[in-house]
Amino acid sequence: MSQVTTQPSVEQPSVDQIWEWLDAVPDPEIPVISLVDLGIIRGVEWQGDTLVVAVTPTYSGCPATAIINLDIETALRDHGLDKIRLETKIAPAWTTDWMSEKGRAKLEEYGIAPPQAAGGPERCPNCHSKNVTRVSQFGSTPCKAHWRCQDCLEPFDYFKCI
């Protein structure tokens, strides 16, 4: 009697292990946070001997999307995986609610105000003053807006809440 057909290989890493690996892949535009922090990895599962990773785009025209897919694939190959399939998942649409607490803290440390439901930054990421004003609804990348602190006078990026 043959048992070879669907037996997973003994070296197949666990899904938890893979999430950990992906949490070490930096966002190409904001390298202090990982792709997992950003909330764009929507699923990791083994389908037979193929690892399927579901990725959702932040903004539909975000030019980093292709690089992100390449980075995921490269990282997983570096860990010895060779059968990988990336799926783009647009529904449900990405929301900044999926950003991790760890990611939000790292953003602020880096000088980018994390997204707030109120629609604007809570405080200046530099001096923590709440006296901030919007310069432009758009910023250096599709996901950011341009703000300025009225106390320390530093301009800063605000990660838009969507």
Partner 1 sequence: MAATLTKDEALFQFLLRMGDNTLILGHRVSEWCGHAPVLEEDIALANTALDLIGQTQMWLGLAAEVQGDEKSADDLAFLRDVWDFRNVLLVEVPNEDFGRTLMRQFLFDAWHSIQLGHLMTSSDDRIAAIAAKASKEVAYHLERSADTVVGLGDGTAESHGFMQAALDYLWPYVGEMFSSDDVDAAMVKAGIAPDPASLRADFDALVGRVLADATLNIPESTFAHKGGRTGAMHTEHLGHLLTHMQWLQRAYPGANW
Q: Which residue from 69, 111, 112, 115 is spatially nearest to 95, judged by alpha carbons?
A: 115
Contact between 140 and partner 1 by CB under 8 A: the answer reads yes
Contact between 62 and partner 1 by CB under 8 A: the answer reads yes
Per CB under 8 A, the list member of 13, 26, 120, 142 interacting with partner 1 is: 142
Binding mask 70-99 for partner 1 (x = CB under 8 A): --------------------xxxxx-----
Size of the site for Zn ion (CB under 5 A): 7
Distances in whole angstroms, Cα of residue 57 to Cα of each of 45, 96, 155: 19, 12, 27
Contact between 110 and partner 1 by CB under 8 A: the answer reads no
Distances in whole angstroms, Cα of residue 26 to Cα of each of 31, 37, 116, 152: 5, 9, 22, 30
Q: Rule CB under 8 A: which residues touch partner 1? A: 57, 59-63, 90-94, 135-140, 142, 146, 160, 162
